[in-house]
């Protein structure tokens, strides 16, 4: 090998070594000029929006902006206008028609299922009710165990709390009531509002009294009051579809399918900010842990932003798995 060729080869190796020695490129926001995040009206979705914003702004140097949202208007806006960019907690099962249109159009995709156990609706009781009544396990055990829930104001029957008027759950629980043939053993009681429903649970738990009725999780109520969902059989799609219809002619007992709750993202973000898209594909929280965080928020009268900060400070084992080490360190530093 001539001296000239030897020098050229050494230079090439040196250049290669320098290239290998360079640190990996830091995760960033790519070409996305601004990322908008839907802040829904309930605590879990609002807190998750703030978590997303915090990670994007401090970890990826994104211009991340929260925008007001709610399930139906956010889904409609994402379908028709491709905005907001991200909806961290979109209950797909309640906007199925719009979601199907998004999938056909291709402008929005599901990056992840935000809750590892899916959204959980059903009939719930405080945990001590099951501990004190070993014969009660499933919704089909209710008829034989109505005396547990006997109502002093209406003796001779138990009280079963329905979903509030106007909620989809009101129709579904009414049909479950018929399917389980509870009309001789339970009064189907309307709470009047979501706040009244929550208050009825708080009163019962404060007095260590039985309570049974509709609720959903993850939620602050499930975490705060130790609610346990009564077991159900496997869900049959056709039977459950009938339960969602106020005019269901033959309601039959079936499981309440786990709700599909998506991290919904505008498709353009994959190309504009691939690092962010990678983070969103891993964004998922265990149901029990997020319910506990939400319960802390309710107990402390915390804002959604404060709940998000509490989550990031106290649940590193969850969220650091969503992002690279350098992003995690930047987010942690911002919390100090």
Tell which of 243, 267, 283 closes a domain. 243
The pLDDT value recorded for residue 12 is: 42
Quote the DSSP letter at residue 321: G
Same domain, 207 and 315: no
Instruction: Confirm if 197 and 171 have CB atoms less than 8 A apart.
Output: no
Residues 127 and 212 in one domain: yes
With a cut of 90, say whether residue 1 has pLDDT above it: no
- Whether residue 297 is preceded by a cis peptide bond, meaning omega within 30 degrees of 0, is no
Domain that holds residue 113: 35-118+259-335
Between 19 and 31, where is the model more confident? 31
What pLDDT does 215 receive? 96
Residue 257: predicted pLDDT: 82
Closest CA to 258 of 108, 122, 99: 122
Specify the pLDDT at position 284.
98
Statement to judge: residues 148 and 237 lie in one domain: yes
Overall number of domains in the chain: 2
Based on the fold, state whether residues 129 and 234 are members of the same structural domain: yes
The per-residue pLDDT for range 107-117, each reduced to its tens digit, is 999 999 999 99
What mean pLDDT is reported for the chain?
91
Of 218, 243, 268, at which residue does a domain stop? 243
Could you count the other beta carbons within 10 Å of the beta carbon of residue 102? 25
| Shared domain check, 148 and 195 | yes
In a domain, 8, yes or no: no
Per-residue pLDDT tens over the stretch 213-266: 999 999 999 999 999 999 999 999 899 988 988 899 999 999 998 889 999 999
Beta bridge partners of 227: 126
Q: Show the tokens assigned to 214.
A: 């509709």
Nearest alpha carbon to residue 110 among 284, 296, 253: 284
Q: Are 35 and 56 in contact (CB under 8 A)?
A: yes
> Is residue 324 packed enough to be buried (19+ CB in 10 Å), middle (13-18) or exposed (0-12)?
middle
Alpha-carbon distance of 75 to 115, in angstroms, equals 18
> CATH number of the domain that 187 lies in?
3.40.190.100
pLDDT reported for residue 94: 77
CA dist 115 and 285 (Å) reads: 5
- Which of 2-16, 36-50, 77-91, 234-248 is predicted least confidently? 2-16
188: its two tokens = 């189907």
Cis peptide preceding 312, ω within 30 of 0: no
Beta bridge partners of 36: 65
Residue 252 included in any domain: no
The strands making up 64-68's β-sheet, listed across from edge to edge, are 64-68, 35-39, 86-91, 261-266, 108-113
Q: Using DSSP, state whether 39 is helix, strand or coil.
A: strand
- Phi/psi of residue 57, nearest 5 degrees: -75, -40
């Amino acid at each position: 090998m001539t001296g000239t060729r030897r020098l050229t080869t050494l230079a090439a190796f040196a250049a290669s070594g320098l290239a290998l020695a360079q640190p990996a490129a830091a995760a960033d926001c790519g070409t996305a000029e601004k990322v908008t995040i839907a802040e829904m009206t309930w605590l879990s979705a609002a807190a998750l929006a703030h978590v997303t914003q915090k990670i994007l702004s401090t970890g990826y140097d994104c211009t991340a902006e929260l925008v007001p949202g709610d399930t139906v208007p956010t889904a409609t806006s994402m379908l028709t206008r491709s905005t907001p960019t991200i909806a961290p907690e979109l209950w797909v099962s309640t906007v199925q028609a719009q979601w199907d249109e998004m999938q056909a159009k291709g402008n929005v995709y599901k990056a992840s299922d935000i809750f590892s156990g899916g959204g959980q609706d059903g009939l719930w009781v405080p945990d001590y009710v099951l501990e004190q009544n070993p014969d009660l396990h499933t919704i089909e055990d209710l008829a034989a165990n109505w005396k547990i829930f006997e109502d002093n104001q209406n003796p001779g029957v138990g009280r079963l709390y329905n979903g509030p008027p106007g909620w989809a759950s009101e129709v579904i629980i009414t049909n479950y009531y018929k399917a389980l043939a509870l009309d001789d053993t339970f009064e189907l009681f309307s709470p009047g509002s979501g706040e009244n429903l929550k208050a009825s649970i708080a009163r019962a738990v404060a007095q260590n009294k039985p309570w049974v009725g509709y609720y959903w999780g993850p939620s602050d109520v499930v975490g705060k009051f130790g609610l346990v969902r009564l077991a159900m059989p496997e869900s049959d799609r056709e039977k459950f579809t009938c339960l969602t219809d106020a005019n269901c002619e033959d309601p039959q007992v079936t499981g309440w399918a786990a709700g599909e709750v998506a991290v919904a993202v505008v498709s353009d973000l994959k190309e504009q900010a691939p690092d962010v898209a990678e983070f969103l594909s891993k964004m998922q929280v265990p149901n029990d842990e997020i319910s506990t965080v939400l319960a802390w928020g309710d107990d402390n009268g915390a804002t959604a932003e404060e709940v998000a900060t509490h989550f990031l400070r106290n649940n590193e084992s969850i969220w650091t798995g969503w992002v690279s080490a350098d992003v995690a360190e930047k987010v942690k530093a911002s919390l100090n």
